[in-house]
Structure 1
Amino acid sequence: MTFSIRISLLATAALAVAAPLSARQAAPANLLPQDAEAPAKQESKQPAAANAVPVSAPAQSVAEAFSQEMVQDIPSITQPWSLGNAKALVTLIDGIGAEGLDKADYNPAELRAAIALGESEQLNELASQTFAWLVEDLRDGRTPMDARKQWFVFDPDADRYPISTLMTQALESGDLEGTLAQIMPEHPDYALLKAELAKTPVAKAGHRKMIRANMDRWRWLARELGSQYLMTNVPEFQLRLTVNDNIVRTYKTVVGKPGRTATPQLAESVEGVIFNPTWTVPQSIVKGEGLGARVLGNPSWARRAGYTATKGENGWVSVVQQPGPTNSLGLMKLDMPNRHAIFLHDTPSRSLFANANRALSHGCIRTERATELAITLAILQGGLTPEEGVGLIKGGEYTKVGFQKTMPVYITYFTMAKDIDGKLSTFADIYDRDAPVLASLDAPRKPNRSRVTGEQIIVIEDDLQT
C-alpha cells in the first residue's frame, strides 16, 4: 500500500471517530484539535438531574491509593427510616436478582420483622446498614479484591458517590430505586448482560452465574468511563476506539502469555504517541541471554539488527534497539506511563494477528494496524495532519507527539461480553481468572473490602518477537 493511499485511509479513520461527535453536536475538546493559542475547552456536560449526587474529584490519586492499604469501611451511618421507605427497601432487595446479586445477602426476613414492629431505632440501624451494603455492591462490585486476579484499577466511585449522600437523597425523595440507579454501570454492555440474565432460565445455573460474574466486572470499573477512550478485552484479543460508548474502530491484539507475563487489568491514561520508538533491552536479556556480549562481539550483525551497546567503566552493558523495521516495538507505541510497563504498540511480527489464540506476548499489547491507530490519535489528540503523521513514520526518527488532553485506556478481562460485531459472546478464560470470581458469588458477602489489591506488581521487562 502506498503512503498516499494510507493518508486517505487515515483521514477517513479520523473522520469516523469525529462523526459521532458531530452528530450529537458535542465534540469533546480532548478528541478534536484545538487552536494552539486558545485555552483548552472543558468538555460539555449534560445538565445534571435534580436529584443527582454531586460528582467530586477522588479524595486520593491512583498512585496514593496503591501506595497504602485502603479499606472500604462501610460507615456506621444511621438515619431515620419511615415505614414507607423501609418497605421500599425490602421491595428493592426482593428484585435485586435482576442486577446479578443475591437478595439473601441483605437479610430481607430480618428487615421485614423489624418493619412489623414499627418505626424504631432498631429499624433505623438495620435499614441503614442494608442500604449501605446495597450501595457498596451496586457501586463497587460484590467481588472482594482477593478474588480479582491481577486487577490494578482504582475505582473512584466510592468518593464520587458517598453512601451518606445517597442515603440522605433516597430518604428525602422516597425514590430509593432512582437513587441507586445513579450508581449502576451506565455502559450499554452491562444492560445487554442484564437482559441476558433476565431471559436465562433458573435451571441454567452455570450460565446465569457466568453472566453475574461479568456484570460484576463492570461494577469494578468507574461508572463514567469518559466520552472517548480505548478499551481492550484481553480474552477477546480486540481493541476498541470508542466515542460516546460507540465503537468507531477495532483492532486485533496480541496479549500476554498465561503465567507471569499475563497482561494485567489496568485503567491508565495515554499521554501521546511515539513514532519510530527505541527499545531499551532489559538486563535479563542483555546479560542473562548474552545479547550484550553478542552485540559487542559482532558489530556487523548488531548493525543489521539495529542494536547499539554501551559498556561502562564498571563493565555494565546497556543495549538499545534503534528505530527501524526490525525494532521489536514496530513503528509506534502509545505513551502510557504506568507501574507495570504495559503499553500498546506495533510489531514487526504482523503474521501473528492471523492466529486464533493470540496470547503470545510478554505482557504488552501488540496492535493490528498500529500505525493507523497512532496517526488517527495524533490527528485528533495531537493536532497533526494526516500528511504530517505519515511523514513522521517515513522519516524513521524517534518522535513523540504529546496529546492536548490525556485519553483513558482500559485493559479489561470479560469472558462474556458484547463482541465487536455487537453480539453477546463468550471468550476463553485464558488466564483462569473466572474461578475465584465465581467462587466469591457462592461465598458469604465480605464486608469492609479493600479498595486496592495486595497482589504483586509484575513489571513487564520485555516484549520480544515470538
Structure 2
Amino acid sequence: MRSSVGKWMVSAAAVSVACTAWAQEAQPESLLPEDDTIEAQADPESFDEAFPKMVSDPLVQGNLDAEPAPLVVPWSVANAEALLQVIEGIGAEGLNPSDYDGQALSTAIASGPSSELDEIASKNFVWLVEDLRDGRTPMDARKQWFVVDPDRDRFRTSDLLAKAVESGDIAGTLEQLHPTHPDYGHLKEALAETPESDTRTRKLIRANMDRWRWLARDLGKQYLITNVPEYQLRLTVNDKIISTYRTIVGKPGRTATPQLAEKVEGVVFNPTWTVPQSIVKGEGLGAKVLNNPAWARRAGYKATKGANGWISVVQQPGPGNSLGQMKLEMPNRHAIFFHDTPSRHLFNNDDRALSHGCIRTERALELAITMAILGKGASKEEAVEIATSGEYTLVPIEREMPAYITYFTMATDINGELSTFKDIYDRDAPVLASLDAPRVNNRAQETDEEVIVIENDPRAIGAD
C-alpha cells in the first residue's frame, strides 16, 4: 500500500502544490488550472479566504420569520412596460415568451393603471420568478431527481415582487435569479448562436439550461460535482477546476445513479465493506466464509453468526477490499457515496455505467488525501500516514464540502469545450417533452418518486 501512496505523491503534482500552499498559508492561485484563457481571480490572503465555510449570501433574501408580502401589488405603467420587455426577451434564457401572457399585459398597459393591470403584471412576474428560480420543468419530468433547491426560501417570491415594483428595476430583480455557474452562461451563448431552424439542438440547450435552475443558484465556494453521463468528477474552488477524476456510475435501470446534493462529512481511509445479504445469503458467501476460514482470511472476510442463525460478513481493509482504499462519508437515504475500487482497469472503458449506483473514482487515494486536507481534518503528512497504516480510519471534514451528483447531456467538458453526452438513463425525453407542453402552475417543489436504496455491491463490475 505504501508504494501506491508514494506513486500518488509523485503523480498528483497539482495536489502537491496545493498541499504546500496550505501548509505555508500561501496565496493559492496555483491551485487553479494553468490555463491562460481562464481569467485570474483576486488573490486570497489566507486559507480561510480561499476555502471559507459555506455561507448563503443571496443578493435578495427575505426575512423568513416575517409574514409574506401579497402576491398582487400595484403596478405603474412604467414598471409594467419594463416587465413586458423582460417577457419579450425571455427566450434568451431558454424560456418561452408565450408562457407569460404578454398580449394580455400589453392590452392592460394600454388601458392605464387598474386592478386588472395589477393582477396580470403580478401574476406574470410571479411566474417568471418561479421558472427562473426553480426551473420550468415540472417535478414529474425530473427522473430520479432528489435535490431540494434552497432558492425558494432564499429568494422568496413575495419579497422579490415587492422589491421590483418599489425599485422599478424589474429586469435587474429577475436577473438575480440566474444560476451563477459558468456553464449556464456557456449554454446561453450557445443558444444565441444556434439558428432558430435547428430546433433539436435549441431544445437540448434549453433543457440543460433548465437543469441548472433545478440546483441552488450558487453552489458554494468549494465543492465536488460530477456529471453522470460524462463519467467525470470535478473538485472545484470558486468555479475553477482543481482536479478531475474519471468515474464509474450506476448501470441503467434500478441501479442508475440518482441526482443528489449532499455534504461530505468525512473521509474513510482503508474502509471495511459490509457485504449485502443478497450476497451473504443469496449467493452463499456467509456459509463459504464460515466453512473455509483459510480462503476467508486470504479474501479478507470475517463472518459472525448470531444465535438466530443470521450471518453477517464484513470484508476487512486491504488491497482486495471491494471499496478500495477510501470512501467519502456522505450520509443520504439513497446510500450513495464516492469510493475507490480494486478494478481500476475499468476506468479505461468508454462506457462506464457499470456499478450498482455508487460512484467509483479514479485516483481515489489522491482525492481522499486532498479532501482530508481541504476539510482541515488532517495535514498532508497525517493523511499519508493514515492512508498507509492499513487500518480503518475516519477523518472528519470540518469545513462543509457540498457534493453534487448531476445529469447534464450538454455541458462544458473537463477540457472547457461545450459538449453533448450520451443520455445513458433516458432522462432527456420527459424534460424535452415538457418544453413543448403548456406551463404547469402550482408545481410540486419536491419529488414523490420512489427512493431506490441499492445494496451496494462493488463486485458487480468485476472487483476482486
* Length-normalised TM-score, structure 2: 0.90
CA distance in 2, matches of 1:205, 1:288: 50
CA distance in 2, matches of 1:409, 1:2: 26
Contact map agreement 1:253 1:353 (CA 8 A) in 2 = yes
CA distance in 2, matches of 1:248, 1:136: 33
After superposition, residues 31-430 of structure 1 pair within 5 angstroms as 52-54=59-61, 77-430=71-424
Which is further off, 334-343 or 13-22?
A: 13-22
Per-residue Cα deviation, 1:139-166 (whole angstroms, up to 9, x for no partner): 0000000000000000010100011111
Amino acid at match of 1:321: Q
**Counterpart check, 1:433 vs 2:427:** yes
Which is further off, 8-17 or 75-84?
A: 8-17
Q: 1:183 to 1:442 in 2, by over 3 A?
A: same
CA distance in 1, matches of 2:103, 2:173: 23
Amino acid at match of 1:233: N
CA distance in 2, matches of 1:437, 1:151: 12
Q: 1:418 to 1:11 in 2, by over 3 A?
A: closer
Per-residue Cα deviation, 1:100-156 (whole angstroms, up to 9, x for no partner): 000010011111111111110011011101000000000000000000000000001
Amino acid at match of 2:343: S
5+ residue gaps, structure 1, are: 33-40, 60-73
Amino acid at match of 2:109: I
Contact map agreement 2:148 2:446 (CA 8 A) in 1 = yes
5+ residue gaps, structure 2, are: 22-27, 32-40
Q: 1:274 to 1:30 in 2, by over 3 A?
A: farther
Which is further off, 288-297 or 133-142?
A: 288-297
Amino acid at match of 1:319: V
Contact map agreement 1:334 1:344 (CA 8 A) in 2 = yes
* Length-normalised TM-score, structure 1: 0.90
Contact map agreement 1:30 1:43 (CA 8 A) in 2 = no
Q: 1:461 to 1:421 in 2, by over 3 A?
A: same
| Count of aligned positions | 440
Give the SS at the match of 2:286: helix
Amino acid at match of 1:285: I
CA distance in 2, matches of 1:326, 1:184: 46
Q: 1:407 to 1:223 in 2, by over 3 A?
A: same
Which is further off, 324-333 or 296-305?
A: 296-305
The Cα shift of 1:384 comes to: 2.1
CA distance in 2, matches of 1:381, 1:27: 15
Amino acid at match of 2:399: K
The Cα shift of 1:290 comes to: 1.3
The Cα shift of 1:302 comes to: 1.2
**Counterpart check, 1:29 vs 2:42:** no
Contact map agreement 2:268 2:395 (CA 8 A) in 1 = yes
RCO comparison, higher one (Cα < 8 Å, 6+):
1
Amino acid at match of 1:359: A
CA distance in 1, matches of 2:65, 2:328: 26
CA distance in 1, matches of 2:450, 2:45: 41
Contact map agreement 1:190 1:218 (CA 8 A) in 2 = yes
CA distance in 2, matches of 1:220, 1:178: 21
Q: 1:2 to 1:149 in 2, by over 3 A?
A: closer
Q: 1:136 to 1:45 in 2, by over 3 A?
A: closer
The Cα shift of 1:5 comes to: 5.2
CA distance in 1, matches of 2:94, 2:439: 14
Per-residue Cα deviation, 1:65-122 (whole angstroms, up to 9, x for no partner): xxxxxxxxx9961100000111111111000000000001001111111111111001
Contact map agreement 1:93 1:108 (CA 8 A) in 2 = yes
Which is further off, 343-352 or 112-121?
A: 112-121
CA distance in 2, matches of 1:232, 1:187: 14
Amino acid at match of 2:346: L
Q: 1:432 to 1:30 in 2, by over 3 A?
A: farther
The Cα shift of 1:9 comes to: 4.9
Q: 1:109 to 1:214 in 2, by over 3 A?
A: same
Which is further off, 361-370 or 167-176?
A: 167-176
Corresponding residue for residue 446 of structure 2: 452
Corresponding residue for residue 63 of structure 1: none
Contact map agreement 1:14 1:380 (CA 8 A) in 2 = no
The Cα shift of 1:282 comes to: 1.1
The Cα shift of 1:31 comes to: 7.1
CA distance in 1, matches of 2:275, 2:248: 20
Contact map agreement 1:151 1:264 (CA 8 A) in 2 = yes
Report runs of 4+ in structure 1 exceeding 3 Å deviation. Answer: 1-12, 14-18, 20-23, 26-32, 41-46, 55-59
The Cα shift of 1:45 comes to: 9.1
Contact map agreement 1:56 1:160 (CA 8 A) in 2 = no
Amino acid at match of 1:15: V
- Tell me the percent identity: 64
State the superposition RMSD in angstroms: 2.3
CA distance in 2, matches of 1:318, 1:190: 47
The Cα shift of 1:55 comes to: 6.4
CA distance in 2, matches of 1:90, 1:443: 22
